Structure 1
Amino acid sequence: MLDLFTWELAGVLIALLLAGALTGMLAGVFGVGGGAVAVPILYEFFRFLDVPEEVRMPLCVGTSLAVIVPTSIRSFNAHRAKGAVDMSILKIWAIPVVVGVIAGSFIARFAPAELFKAVFVVVAGVSSARLLFGKDSWRLGMDMPGRVVMSVYGWIIGVLSALMGIGGGQLSSLFMTFYNRPIHQAVATSSGLGILISIPGVIGYVYAGWPNVANYPDVAILQPPLALGYVSLLGTILLIPTSTLVAPIGAHLAHKMSKRRLEIMFGLFLAFVCIRFAASLFA
């Protein structure tokens, strides 16, 4: 029994390290925080450690946001060094995105686990369909909208990202391409959102989870120093090293790919995420 436990735990730990590397690669290539990869892996990790179902999904989301902090910083710096980031868009989005993240974190305090999965399915499905089957003629406009509309979109991106445990990359990339922005610029600019979303998101999930995890005093993985609220420090420590190391490599690859290849790869990735969580939601 001990040998079986050891090998199973070793397999989960190796999966976490590999997930960190894949998270970093996705952060660089697609301008996303990699949460769509980290969250499913963390879900299995916490299931293995017998974390109750009622708090398992928000714990995954909060931990994913913590991993996104350093990964997004490295990805953003790599894209900015290539001059591909539109800072004017980030300046408009800064406040509404942060406000949206705070609202999403508040919702997370009371939301059932199914809500987190449902948000994943809807957002990933719409984004994937747009990238795989959309045409250049599918536009909401030939230039970005005014500040008011941009602020509303920013708030929505913040709320949904906080509930998904992502850096907002796929949401903002989808939005920017609908307004005639090249995919490479959309990806690069979206990498900056990860910083705006992840830092307040982590704080929010610590706050949201603190009273809830106190209901499970016998589950050691939920208690300090292994966790703070809905943020697992153990999961964060295991994922961050490889994700941070690989993020600049992904950013370099993104600028080597053609526009259509980047869209197809991103679309297929999001389709996989959508199917993964839809199966979990309706199982």
Structure 2
Amino acid sequence: MTSFDPSTIALLVAIAAGAGVFGGILAGLLGVGGGIVIVPALYFALSLTGIDPALTIQIAVGTSLATIVFTSLSSSWGHYKKGALDMTLLKKWAPSILIGVVIGGLLGGVVSGYILVAVFAVVAGVVALDMIFRKPRTDPEPKTFSNMIWAALGVFAGGVSAMMGIGGGTVCVPVLSFLGYDIRKAVGTSAAIGFLIGVPGALIYAATGFGQAGLPPFSIGYVNLVAAAIIIPLSTTFARVGVRIAHAIPQRALKLSFGVFLLLTSARMFSDLLGN
């Protein structure tokens, strides 16, 4: 590991601050927790410090999950005050999501990241095209499923989110929208789900990385406290800005925004895969 010279530290702070601002806006606007921005930003920033590449993605994911705890609280509270949080769905989905988070967190260092990225990139691309081109329903009505199907969806959402360091909205919003939920309620509920994913996910990454050699200073396992301290105040503040935008624009515009966001995410993932 190389030393942290002043210019490197300044760049790390700038990248973390930018991730906090943009991650917070996306968290409030799209219910995604901000991890989809924070993980790649931290990965890039940490790669400049000489840290073992094998540790870089785990630190980025673990730190992202820690920031999501606070960002999702800010975002979900804003959506709750606007009546866009489905507490019934949240209670139904919470147990299976927590199970998925534990499984995904424990498997995070075992399953090939390239396989996960490839699967997620395909799914994100398909869902993005569906959200962009499918005609919106004038009277969205949620579909009903058995508790077993809801449990399976929850385990999947929690597991993938924990392994990728994201808040759950990237998975949950498209799923809930496809199932007939109002897009604003899908975003608001997914923001709250981010908290359910962030708490156990961050604890697992902190525990599994505890005592690991080569970690940057001020780290508890795979959670870096310095990066988290920079990101959290900004992401929680700007999450409220995202909430205001989400409730100020038409539902179709919100859905298109999420579709474009997913399409760009998918394209970035394919680009990363082709570059390796």
**When the two structures are superposed, what TM-score results if normalisation uses the length of structure 1?**
0.88
In structure 2, C-alpha distance between the alignment counterparts of 1:19 and 1:249, rounded to whole Å: 15
Find 1:261's aligned residue among 253, 260, 269: 253
Give the whole-Å Cα distance in 2 for the aligned partners of 1:127 and 1:178. Answer: 9
Match of 1:43 in 2: 43
Alignment of 1:188-207 (within 5 A): 188-207=188-207
Structure 1 CA distance for aligned equivalents of residues 127 and 75 of structure 2: 21
Which of 225, 231, 236 is the equivalent residue of 1:239?
231
Q: Give the counterpart letter for 2:97 in structure 1.
A: V
Given that residues 33 and 166 in structure 2 are in contact (C-alpha distance below 8 angstroms), is that contact kept between their aligned partners in structure 1?
A: yes
Measured after TM superposition, the shift of residue 195 of structure 1 is 0.8
In the TM superposition, 1:1-283 aligns within 5 A as 6-115=6-115, 117-118=117-118, 120-136=120-136, 143-210=143-210, 214=212, 217=213, 219-221=214-216, 226-283=218-275
Deviation at 1:264, TM superposition (A): 1.4
| Kept in 2: contact 1:24–1:33 (CA 8 A) | yes
How far is the alpha carbon of 1:122 from its aligned partner?
A: 3.5
> Structure 1 residues 118, 163: CA separation in 2 closer, same or farther (over 3 Å shift)?
farther
Distance apart, 1:209 and its partner CA: 2.3
Aligned AA (1:155): V
Q: Within 2, Cα distance between the matches of 1:112 and 1:257? A: 39
Cα–Cα, structure 1 residues 254 and 182, in superposed 2: closer, same or farther, change >3 Å? same
Aligned with 1:210: secondary structure? coil
CA distance in 2, matches of 1:124, 1:192: 21
**Which is further off, 196-205 or 12-21?**
12-21
Residue by residue over 1:193-220, the C-alpha shift from the partner in whole angstroms, topping out at 9 and shown as x without a partner, is: 0111100101111223236xx2xx3x35
| Structure 1 Cα separation of the partners of residues 218 and 127 of structure 2 | 35
Structure 2 SS opposite 1:257: coil
Range 29-38 or range 175-184, more displaced: 175-184
User: Comparing 176-185 with 63-72, which one deviates more in the overlay?
Assistant: 176-185
Number of aligned pairs?
Answer: 268
**Contact (CA 8 Å) 1:47, 1:56: kept in 2 or not?**
yes
Q: What is the CA distance between 1:9 and its match in structure 2? A: 4.0
RMSD of aligned residue pairs (Cα, Å): 1.9
Cα shift at 1:133 = 2.5
SS of equivalent residue, structure 2 residue 32: coil
The aligned amino acid for 1:157 is A
Return closer, same or farther for 1:115/1:241 CA change in 2, 3 Å cut-off.
farther
Distance apart, 1:123 and its partner CA: 4.1
The 1-side partners of 2:195 and 2:123 are apart by 20
Question: Residues 220 and 59 (structure 1 numbering): CA distance in 2 closer, same or farther, change over 3 Å?
Answer: closer
Residues 77 and 142 from structure 1, CA distance in 2 versus in 1: closer, same or farther, beyond 3 angstroms? Answer: closer
**C-alpha contact 2:106 2:204 (8 A) present in aligned 1:** yes
Amino acid at match of 1:227: S
Query: C-alpha distance in 2, partners of 1:39/1:125?
Result: 19
C-alpha contact 1:97 1:157 (8 A) present in aligned 2: yes
In structure 2, stretches of 5+ residues that fail to align are none
